Amino acid sequence: MQSNVSTAGMKKNVVLTVSAQLVSFFVSAVLNLILPKYVSEMDYSSWQTLLLYLGYVPIFHFGFLDGLMLRYSQYDYQNLNKPLVQSQFRLFLGAEVFFALIGFALSFGVENETYRQLVRFVSFGIITANLYAYASHLFQMTNRISKYVIFVMMMRLILGVGIVAALFCGANSFYDLCIVYFTSCILTILWGASQNKELFWGTGRLADGTIAELKNNVSSGIMLLIANLSSMFFVGGAKMVVQWHYDPLLFGKVAFSFTLVNLFLTFVTAASIAIFPSLKRIDTANLPDFYVRIRRSMTPLLFVSLALYFPGYYVLKLWLPNYADSLVYLSVLLPMIVYESRVTLLTNNYLKTYRKERLMLVINLVSVAIAFVLFLVSAYILDSLFILLACLVFVVFVRSIVSEIVVMRIINRRRYASFGVELALVVLFYFAIVMFNG
């Protein structure tokens, strides 16, 4: 049985998820400011490499979780066919364990000790990251945002306290950080399972129609999964090329810049998570007006965030003098948040709501292909890190504009003049950066 959601209900969900991400933001800010200070540059680089590749382990659920979100988001928890979902979960879990074992076996062929550890941790992350995502999706798709908030806060708080405690005890190696991280994941997953018992634990027999339903969810979600991963590959691809072509210490400094950008995007992701289930429950006739309202409210906040670069530059330079170069890279990357926020919060959610995943996939794949070619040319032919980062911002800008034009045509709303205003403000920001540094 479907349920409706009001504007007030959507606002409440957004406030709840942003509140959770506010806690996540402060924990991430503390960790990302403390780790570079008290962990060696090489260990920090290894840590960032692990996080980079863990971001792509969702490929191993083959769209199953995205299919759940797309096909079940209009239902409340009590209305789900729980035996059917739980039976699919068992097959899903078996697949994750299988892929993790393959990864662990392959690690024995890696000669470098650090890389061997990385492969093993990423292999274990196939299980933990996808189980965490499963629990997270269950809370989101059934609109139990308050429990989702607790779930996110629990993970971040356990991780934050654990890492600070480890550093206090002198455990500051890459291996120590990984142990704390995966322990936090496991404890949070166990709580998520306790709140979704009927969707984690079941009888020994698979429910009727499990295989057919699993296929439907995978076929529905695979394009969305690829679209989401390709979207992540804008940043991930740039970081990979930097890791491949430049030395590990430089990669660590560039990764630190990306981490600062992601701190802001945490809030955008939070709001996006709350908005999508709500959009699925709104009358289609009201969706165009919601789009205009959300977009109008975003613009001032995005450009205020750019202005924060200037005071932040001085504070971070004093605290982390070894990462002063990272702040210069950050100045190139920061306008990316304006356009990436548009895609994450608005265009992707609307394309999913109107079931235009195929169109979303095409936009992302074409953009990623162009971006990756530009990254390789920038690194291996021009050997310019700054050009590589500028190419990333440019492609994110183009993808955002194209995605918005597509959505505006779908909802029959035209706000093209705003593109010029926003571009002018970004150019003004870059001009201010040149004057500021010169």
Question: Residue 387's pLDDT band (boundaries 50, 70, 90)?
Answer: very high
pLDDT of res. 268: 66
The string of pLDDT tens digits covering residues 154-210 is 998 899 899 999 998 988 898 999 999 999 999 999 999 999 888 888 766 777 888
Residue 438 pLDDT level (bands cut at 50, 70, 90)? very low
pTM exceeds 0.85: no
Q: Give 15-32 pLDDT, tens digit per residue.
A: 666 666 667 777 777 777
Residues linked to residue 75 through DSSP beta bridges, in sequence order: 2
Q: What is the mean pLDDT of the chain?
A: 83
Residue type, 344: T
Q: What does the pLDDT look like over 218-251, one tens digit per residue?
A: 888 888 788 778 777 778 888 889 988 988 888 8
pLDDT category at 277 given cuts 50, 70, 90 is low
pLDDT of 132 > 90? The answer is yes
pLDDT of residue 162: 92
Q: Provide mean pLDDT across the span 101-124.
A: 91
Share of the chain above pLDDT 70, in %: 90
Q: Does residue 1 surpass a pLDDT of 50?
A: no
* Predicted pLDDT of residue 388: 93
Tell how far CA 321 is from the center of its chain.
28
- pLDDT band for position 280 (50/70/90)? low
pLDDT at 120 over 80: yes
Cα→Cα distances 266→215, 258, 273, Å: 32, 12, 11
